[in-house]
Amino acid sequence: MAMLQINFPSSFAARALALAGFFVLASCFAYGQDVNSCLDCHSAQPGHLEVTPEKFSQDIHAQKGLTCVSCHGGDASSYDPAQAMSRKAGWKGKIDRKQVPKLCGSCHSNPSYMKQYNPSLRTDQLDQYHTSMHGKRLAAGDTKAAVCTDCHSVHDLRPPSDPRSTVNPVNVAKTCSRCHSDAAYMKQYGIPTDQFANYSTSVHHDAMAVRGDLSAPTCTTCHGNHGAVPPGVDKVQNVCANCHAFQAQMYQQSTHSKVFEKASLPGCVVCHSNHGIHMPSDAMLGTGPGGVCTRCHTPGDHCDGARAAILGNLTQLDGAIKSADAALRLAESAGMEVSEARLSQDQARDALTKARVTIHTFQTALVEKDIQAGMKIAVANQKAGKDAMIERNHRRIGLGICLIAIAMMLVGLWLYIKKLES
Amino acid sequence: MFAALIRWLDERLKLEGLIAPLRHKTVPTHRLSYWYFFGGITLFLFIIQVLTGILLLLYYRPGANEAFESVQYIMTRVQFGWLIRSIHSWSANLMIFTAFVHMFSVVFLKAYRKPRELTWVTGVILLFLVMGFGFSGYLLPWNTLAFFATKVGTEIAGQVPFIGRPIMIFLRGGEEVTGATLTRFFGFHVAVLPGIVTVLIAIHLFLVQRLGMSVPPKVEAHWNAHPPEKREMRFFPNFLLRELMAWYVAMGALGALAALFPWNLGVKADPFISAPAGIKPEWYFLFMFQTLKLIPSKVWIIDGEVLGVLGCSLAGLLWLLLPFFESDKTPRTKVWITGLTIFALVYVIGMTVYGYVAN
């Protein structure tokens, strides 16, 4: 009793303590659903153990109502570490890298479960992953191989449509580069680590990052995402054909298609390269530094002749279009009406674009056909521009004659008035 | 040969009887007489408008799908079509310009005084109608600038309290500027306005003929003090021949502008694109447009645009009734009117220039 009297505080303090206890208990009952001892403790943990409620609230899983327990097990309602992280309560602790795909797949491969969150979301990611180079290496015991969380991040995982997501089209290349551009990390695999550097100079990256075209290709567009593998040498054209369908059709008709296949050369990549694909230009057909034909063909041979003829045709049409543009611009600046010719210049440009696509057949006759169609229009338009300027000169001569006639009339009238009034 | 023809016509039409009053009609001759020519030049340009308008009608097709193409056809395929269209456009602008010059010359020479009040009223109404010609004709090529200028213009008309919205819907032929608006404007441009303007010009000319040319007060006072110094010339043929010279000069200027600076056709109107940045109306509406732009969105509890439209309408009405504010008995009113007229001219020119240079 004496002990009790000594240990108990004064009556005021006792009442305050009791009141505080009541509020804590009341709060716990009232908000029992929101109690998450995991976050309460881990928000104060150092380094990689730190997971704050702010961070986790950004995670799509948290937004859909899942909690730490959904993946890690345990009892989030208990503040007793022994109970909260009890194996009996199903606590798994840090998920072993090897187990990550399986754990994610336990929900994401379950169509009926996933349907309640997003009926349009695919559920074959895990199967795809098993076919990927990453999945195969992981299965072989290589824990450096990428698992779900390496690309999608963890605890703040956002849907791909979110621009802040690591797998948003704009960010994919950078996400892949975290491993694939790390020479030390990739050393044991013996593959290049300059893909991201090359891609950053490519026309595809330009379309994506500069022009903001989210449909422009990034790593996953050609390699796949969950089933990521390098396209086989004989399959490259199929990958490129997904977007460049006409070029692929033309290429299939060409002799190169068969020759490259026999020589195990990777189709499109032979001329255009893979990651560092630059905007194609007519110079690729030339013999200068940008030329690609002369890498294989000997100057003066039959194919070199075809190359020169095609290049000549393209240059001719390109020049004719530019000349027509200049003539029409000049006529327009003189106030002449040449909008019809201006409009049909687009057809000439289309013919040039078509000819540049037809090049992939490497048949001079087919390219020539497109070129001639364009030339006909461009020459006619150039003539329209020149005719407009001739017409303008005629107008000025006509105006001069009229003004002289008017001046003569004025002088005549003035003399007549003078005579009348004299 | 020519004299024989005149004699032959005179025997049948009694031309001498028609010309006789003109032979007796005289025109005052003084240092400001040249301002008299601007009315005649405006009439000449109106005649040019009628003639070139009739020629354009041979090929023009009113309709959202055809109007632009038909004007393009006129300009590129029809023999001298470019010239007719260019003269029609330039002449329209010159006509509005000379009408403004004529009007301000009348104000500064005090030619609106009693008994010429009705000449002034018909003249100002003619100016408003000519601006209506400009507004309705501007849309007819159905190009982008015309489309959005009409949209903005009819929107402004819609700001008039109570009757604004019905007026806007009447002008547009619906809620939006569409092919129906084009057809409607075509009707106004080639039928309604020419009919009214022809009647008003006839009245205006009749009044000029009936009342004779006005003499500026100072000149009149000087002549009254020194009767021998009074100068006059016969209207026919002396003044008419001089007027003919002025018409030839106008024709030369018109031809030079049409040939050296052919009127641009622009790009076909697309109702689904947004309005081009910095769109402005034709120069003769610019001073009003700029005024509306400068008025704050709210003035006390009144909407700024409504206030602007009402202000412009009131100013137009007062301008129309200008002669009735001037009385011979109160010289101070005369000073006020001269001051206001100078202010109006400076304001119109200043706001037009500001409208061009402002973004």
The verdict on A107 and A222 lying in the same domain is yes
Residues of chain B contacting residue A396, judged by C-beta atoms under 8 Å apart: 259-260
Give the end of a domain, one of A43, A69, A94: A94
Is the CB of residue A91 less than 8 Å from the CB of residue A85?
yes
- Work out the percent of chain A whose per-residue pLDDT is above 70: 91
The verdict on A52 and A120 lying in the same domain is no
For residue A219, is it within any domain? yes
Tokens found for residue B64: 């959202």
d(CA A143, CA A122): 26
Nearest Cα residue in chain A from B239: A417
Distances (CA, A) of B298 to B301, B306, B309, B351: 6, 9, 13, 21
For residue A235, is it within any domain? no
**What is the model's pLDDT at position B328?**
66
Contact state of A337 with B72 under an 8 Å Cβ cutoff:
yes
Residues of chain A contacting residue B237, judged by C-beta atoms under 8 Å apart: 420
Size of the A and B interface in Cβ pairs below 8 Å: 53
Q: What digits encode the pLDDT tens for the residues B259-311?
A: 999 998 999 999 899 888 888 899 999 999 999 999 998 888 888 888 999 99
Contact state of A398 with B251 under an 8 Å Cβ cutoff:
no
d(CA A300, CA B268): 52
Residues of chain A contacting residue B72, judged by C-beta atoms under 8 Å apart: 337, 339-340
- pTM assigned to the model: 0.72
The verdict on A373 and A318 lying in the same domain is yes
Q: What digits encode the pLDDT tens for the residues B4-20?
A: 998 898 888 888 887 78
**What is the model's pLDDT at position A1?**
35
Give the one of B75, B245, B262 whose C-beta lies nearest to A410's C-beta: B245
For residue A240, is it within any domain? no
**What is the model's pLDDT at position A19?**
52
Mean pLDDT over A248-255 rounds to 90
For residue A269, is it within any domain? no
Q: pLDDT band at A25, cuts 50/70/90?
A: very low
- Work out the percent of chain A whose per-residue pLDDT is above 90: 67
CA distance A213 to chain B (A): 22
Q: pLDDT band at A18, cuts 50/70/90?
A: low
The verdict on A313 and A400 lying in the same domain is yes
The verdict on A216 and A337 lying in the same domain is no
Question: Bigger pLDDT: A338 or B24?
Answer: A338
The verdict on A140 and A217 lying in the same domain is yes
- Looking at residue B287, its amino acid is F
- Computed from CA positions of residues A318, A324, A327, A332, in that sequence, does the dihedral angle turn out positive or negative? negative
Mean pLDDT over B113-127 rounds to 95
The verdict on A326 and A397 lying in the same domain is yes
Q: What digits encode the pLDDT tens for the residues B48-85?
A: 999 999 999 999 999 999 999 999 999 989 999 999 99
Q: Which residues contact A295 (CB under 8 A, 6 or more apart)?
A: none
Contact state of A413 with B256 under an 8 Å Cβ cutoff:
no
For residue A242, is it within any domain? no
Contact state of B251 with A406 under an 8 Å Cβ cutoff:
yes
Q: Which of A343, A399, A408, A418 to mutate to test the interface with B (most CBs of B within 10 A)?
A: A399
Give the one of B238, B259, B265 whose C-beta lies nearest to A337's C-beta: B265
Q: Is A319's pLDDT higher than 90?
A: yes
**What is the model's pLDDT at position B338?**
86
Among A30-44, A163-177, A254-268, A368-382, the range scoring the smallest mean pLDDT is A30-44
CA distance A396 to chain B (A): 7
A407 touches chain B (CB under 8 A): yes
For residue B243, is it within any domain? yes
Give the end of a domain, one of A230, A258, A291: A230
For residue A260, is it within any domain? no
Which residues make beta-bridge pairs with B28? B232
Q: Is A7's pLDDT higher than 70?
A: no
Contact state of A335 with B261 under an 8 Å Cβ cutoff:
yes
For residue B196, is it within any domain? yes
Q: What digits encode the pLDDT tens for the residues B220-251?
A: 999 999 999 999 998 888 999 999 999 999 99
B238 touches chain A (CB under 8 A): yes
Q: pLDDT band at A4, cuts 50/70/90?
A: very low
**What is the model's pLDDT at position B330?**
66
B80 touches chain A (CB under 8 A): no
Give the end of a domain, one of A44, A71, A94: A94
Contact state of A414 with B245 under an 8 Å Cβ cutoff:
yes
The verdict on A37 and A82 lying in the same domain is yes
**What is the model's pLDDT at position A60?**
94
For residue A347, is it within any domain? yes
Domain that holds residue B87: 25-266
Nearest Cα residue in chain A from B264: A335
Q: Which residues of A6-89 form beta strands (DSSP E)?
A: none
The verdict on A336 and A221 lying in the same domain is no
Contact state of A402 with B252 under an 8 Å Cβ cutoff:
yes
Counting the structural domains of chain B, the total is 1
Query: Chain-wide mean pLDDT for chain A?
Result: 89
Mean pLDDT over B162-182 rounds to 94
**What is the model's pLDDT at position A228?**
83
Mean pLDDT over A43-50 rounds to 87
Counting the structural domains of chain A, the total is 4
Q: Which residue has the tokens 């194609």?
A: A280
Domain that holds residue A45: 33-94
Q: What digits encode the pLDDT tens for the residues A199-220?
A: 999 999 999 988 989 999 999 9
Q: Is A231's pLDDT higher than 90?
A: no
- Looking at residue A231, its amino acid is P
CA distance B260 to chain A (A): 7
Helices (H), A64-110: 68-72, 81-84, 100-108
A421 touches chain B (CB under 8 A): yes
Q: What digits encode the pLDDT tens for the residues B321-350?
A: 999 987 666 667 778 888 889 999 999 999
Contact state of B262 with A336 under an 8 Å Cβ cutoff:
yes
The verdict on A341 and A412 lying in the same domain is yes
Question: Bigger pLDDT: A282 or A8?
Answer: A282
Mean pLDDT over A46-70 rounds to 91
**What is the model's pLDDT at position B56?**
97
Mean pLDDT over B126-140 rounds to 96
**CATH number of the domain to which B201 belongs:** 1.20.810.10
Contact state of B238 with A421 under an 8 Å Cβ cutoff:
yes
Mean pLDDT over A115-138 rounds to 93
**What is the model's pLDDT at position A178?**
95
Contact state of A406 with B260 under an 8 Å Cβ cutoff:
no
The verdict on A118 and A196 lying in the same domain is yes
For residue B129, is it within any domain? yes
The verdict on A130 and A226 lying in the same domain is yes
For residue A382, is it within any domain? yes
Distances (CA, A) of A212 to A160, A168, B141, B282, B349: 16, 12, 38, 39, 47
